[in-house]
Amino acid sequence: MTELYFDTVIQIRIQGGTPEILETCKELCAYYEGLFSKEIPTSEISRINASLQVAVDVSPETADLVRQGLYYSELSDGKFDVTIAPVSDLWDFHDTKNTVIPSEEARNAACSLVNYQNVLVEDNTVTLLMPGMELDLGGIAKGYIADRLKEYLLGEGVEHGYINLGGNVLLIGGKYDGSDYRIGIQKPFAESGQTITTLEVRDCSIVSSGIDQRYFEKDGQLYHHILNPQNGMPYENDLLQVTILSDSSTMGDALSTCCFALGLEDGTKLVESLENVEAIFITKDYELHYAGERKHAP
């Protein structure tokens, strides 16, 4: 199955099961997009963003996702922040011809609205405590949705499968013949399909964040989509890309951005403090740096 959701191409391959299972996967993708996309005016995230400091009743899934987003915001000391929307709204990485760098004044105003500590989640209600705040869960939502899809497929008895949500890869078991999947890590800025390394893995989430995924160049300067909540500009460090291997795609999605924002040294420290997580950092000299350890499933 190949479809377009979340403004990206998704692929789901399973061995065993029925066509109805894949049809339900499509329905789940549409359902979660309708909950989490800030670009859909009727979504629960859009309703929260328009709430004017009033508690909004949401589904258990939305409350859970916001809680997890706040957890990783705290874990990264705000380097990753799910209230980044006022800043990210200033930038357009889709129109790479008519590029505009937001003014310092606009960036400062937007940054003043970013603070994950001003989000309150109680049971299935979410409240933004400061006027002008908005949520943007783009840095974690695809991982969360991949986990829910895997949960559903396991419940249907699927033992071998491959979920790819725009580069967020989540594996169910190994291949049908008992071998591991071979997953290539895209070389930053290289032609599509050119890998910098290949992993042999099973029952694992693989998520990458990097400066080549969405960017534009202006006056010889590259501007990418991983934005610093403190100054509203793209993060500047020695990294091109971070890949996270973990059991949870939610974790991998959030951590890949957290670790990129933290940089090689602090990102390595974060990964080393966590259990069953592995990271591959690619620096601007195209060297690979490994951190953490993931105990591969038998």
Residue 213 and residue 124 in one domain: no
- Residue pLDDT, tens place only, 154-186: 999 999 999 999 889 999 999 888 899 999 999
Instruction: Using the structure block, give the residue that is written with the tokens 């011809």.
Output: 97
Residue 103 and residue 218 in one domain: no
Q: Does pLDDT of 261 surpass 60?
A: yes
Residue 124 and residue 195 in one domain: no
**How many Å apart are CA 135 and CA 128, to the nearest integer?**
9
What pLDDT shows up at residue 16?
A: 75
Write down which residue in 106, 128, 150 finishes a domain: 128
Residue 155 and residue 289 in one domain: yes
Residue 217 and residue 286 in one domain: yes
- Calculate mean pLDDT across residues 77-85: 96
Residue 120 and residue 190 in one domain: no
Task: Report the CATH number at residue 198.
Answer: 3.10.520.10
- Categorize the per-residue pLDDT at 148 as very low, low, confident or very high, splitting at 50, 70 and 90: very high
What pLDDT shows up at residue 117?
A: 97
Q: Does pLDDT of 296 surpass 60?
A: no
User: Which own/partner pairs from 46-55 qualify as long-range (CB within 8 Å, at least 24 positions apart)?
Assistant: 48/126, 48/128, 48/135, 49/85, 49/128, 49/133, 49/134, 49/135, 51/127, 51/128, 52/131, 53/127, 53/128, 53/129, 53/130, 53/131, 54/127, 55/120, 55/122, 55/125, 55/126, 55/127
Task: Specify the higher pLDDT residue, 130 or 6.
Answer: 130
Residue 120 and residue 219 in one domain: no
What pLDDT shows up at residue 298?
A: 40
Write down which residue in 77, 105, 128 finishes a domain: 128
Share of the chain above pLDDT 90, in %: 82
- Categorize the per-residue pLDDT at 295 as very low, low, confident or very high, splitting at 50, 70 and 90: low
What pLDDT shows up at residue 191?
A: 84
- Residue pLDDT, tens place only, 13-67: 998 777 899 999 999 999 999 999 999 999 999 999 999 889 999 999 999 999 9
- Residue pLDDT, tens place only, 127-142: 999 999 999 999 999 9
- Categorize the per-residue pLDDT at 220 as very low, low, confident or very high, splitting at 50, 70 and 90: confident
**How many Å apart are CA 139 and CA 261, to the nearest integer?**
12
Residue 146 and residue 280 in one domain: yes
> For residue 43, is it within any domain?
no
> For residue 272, is it within any domain?
yes
**How many Å apart are CA 70 and CA 17, to the nearest integer?**
36
Total structural domains within the chain: 2
Residue 153 and residue 254 in one domain: yes
Hey, what are 291's tokens?
């951190």
- Calculate mean pLDDT across residues 103-123: 97
Which range marks the domain in which residue 107 is found? 52-128
Q: What mean pLDDT is reported for the chain?
A: 93
Residue 96 and residue 170 in one domain: no
> For residue 110, is it within any domain?
yes
Task: Specify the higher pLDDT residue, 233 or 294.
Answer: 233
